[in-house]
Amino acid sequence: MTDRRNDLTAWDRNHFFHPSTAMGAHARGESPARTIASGEGVYITDTAGRRSLDAFGGLYCVNVGYGRQKIADAIAEQARSLAYYHAYAGHSTEASITLARMIIERAPANMSRVYFGLSGSDANETNIKLIWFYNNILGRPEKKKIISRWRGYHGSGIMTGSLTGLEAFQKNFDLPRSPILHTEAPYYFRRADRSMSEEAFSAHCAEKLEDLILAEGADTIAAFVGEPILGTGGIVPPPQGYWRAIQAVLRKYDILLVADEVITGFGRLGTMFGSDHYGIEPDLITIAKGLTSAYAPLSGSIVSEKMWNVLVEGSDRLGPIGHGWTYSAHPICAAAGIANLELIDELALVDNVRVTGAWFRAALDQALGDHIHVGDVRGEGLMAAVELVEDRDDRRFFDPARKVGPAVVAAMLEQGVIARAMPQGDIIGFAPPLCLSREEADQIVAATLHAIRQVLG
């Protein structure tokens, strides 16, 4: 076994190009690496036999938890009966049709159809194309610009990496590309004017958006893309009244709204969709992660009735839509999605998010809220973050070179708990599987407190 592990380590260093990894340090063996062997519930175990509580659910995606036999069986059964058929020219499989129906049944009001992809990134690429097609069909060829927020995360393709408002995903890649624009992040804790109330800050964000629209010309702005709660940009719930204020501006200028629910879709906030949670009425919804709990790669663009009718008019005029992936609606992934959505209902996981999420966030707040280096404890449902600061009274942040966030996360790992050091700040992020128990929540909180004390005193 030891020899095998040594082989794997060498092959990993020599042949595997990892995403979001310091390439040289990994290849030279200078940074920690870990090979995961199995998972059960909220725990994963690596090839060295070390078990960790995964308080980030992989990448906020293993929502039903690891090791669910029901999903494994559904995948195996589908692979045996029909591993693949495409979805072009009206073809489908029983699994893909069933899953589309299940998604629309669970989606917010006025949603009509699901276009299936494989990743959150490709689903957002699809959304951009659908938005451009829509405005071409409506005879508005100038209405093409898309606005997202700084600190939004929407993928790392060329257009979706442009939508993403985080430095590491853009710098040195010649991104963002036209016609993507960015507006202010609804990040209340980091607001410039600290005297602002949440409502006032929401109004300020809406004003900034309106200023941008007017500066560019409203008839050039096609859509606004946002996550119901900022995810990778810091796990930041919107301030009071934010979505109401933003939607009023979008309606005024006939601008489409894309709710990127890749993280929030299927229960993470204690409602089936984040749009339900915040009263968002989107024209398109992006889904991925929680759709299959990452047992198989599957994403989707949920298209509203309003957009669908225009797309159909376009197709009637122009022929089949020139957009498709070989693996769209892959039956194995669809079978995983069906079993996953059934499990979410059978295990009442959305209810558990409400109850255990509230418990978890209250426990975090109680344990850490008064620590001199904790500036903010925030979250919603089973998403939470602890933001660390050098000085909480004048909200002074640590020098990024000190890498305080990564040090805390590393210290947590030593205690058997995985959290994520979020980019652009010393922010400890949590998004555990939705089946988390109170005992497991307490274990995460204890590890966080211990690690912060260990690193910062």
Taking the CB of residue 29, how many other CB atoms lie within 10 A of it? 12
Q: Which residue is nearest to ligand PLP (CB)?
A: 120
Nearer to ligand PLP, 263 or 447 (CB): 263
Residues 6 or more apart in contact with residue 246 via CB below 8 angstroms: 202, 205, 206, 209, 224, 226
Of the candidates 288, 284, 324, the one whose C-alpha atom is nearest the C-alpha of residue 91 is: 324
Using rule CB under 6 A, residue 154 touches ligand PLP: yes
Q: What is the dihedral of CA 360, 365, 371, 374, to 10 degrees?
A: 90
Using rule CB under 6 A, residue 357 touches ligand PLP: no
Nearer to ligand PLP, 168 or 355 (CB): 168
Using rule CB under 6 A, residue 283 touches ligand PLP: no
- For helices 69-81 and 331-346, the axis angle rounded to 10 degrees is 150
Report yes or no: 447 and 363 within 8 Å, Cβ to Cβ: no
Report yes or no: 277 and 263 within 8 Å, Cβ to Cβ: no
Using rule CB under 6 A, residue 262 touches ligand PLP: yes
Report in angstroms how near the CB of residue 69 gets to ligand PLP at its nearest.
Answer: 25
Report in angstroms how near the CB of residue 440 gets to ligand PLP at its nearest.
Answer: 23
Report yes or no: 269 and 383 within 8 Å, Cβ to Cβ: yes
List helix spans (H) across 234-273: 242-252
Taking the CB of residue 45, how many other CB atoms lie within 10 A of it? 15
Query: Among residue numbers 50 through 79, which ones bind ligand PLP (CB under 6 A)?
Result: 59
Amino acid found at 124 = N
Rg (Cα) of the chain, in Å, rounded?
Answer: 22
Using rule CB under 6 A, residue 121 touches ligand PLP: yes
Using rule CB under 6 A, residue 227 touches ligand PLP: yes
Using rule CB under 6 A, residue 263 touches ligand PLP: yes
> Binder to ligand PLP among 57, 108, 155, 228 (CB under 6 A)?
155
> x-or-dash pattern for ligand PLP, window 171-210, by CB under 6 A?
----------------------------------------
Report in angstroms how near the CB of residue 294 gets to ligand PLP at its nearest.
Answer: 9
Query: Among residue numbers 285 through 344, which ones bind ligand PLP (CB under 6 A)?
Result: 288
Using rule CB under 6 A, residue 117 touches ligand PLP: no
Q: For binding to ligand PLP (CB under 6 A), which residues are involved?
A: 59, 119-121, 124, 153-155, 227, 231-232, 260, 262-263, 288
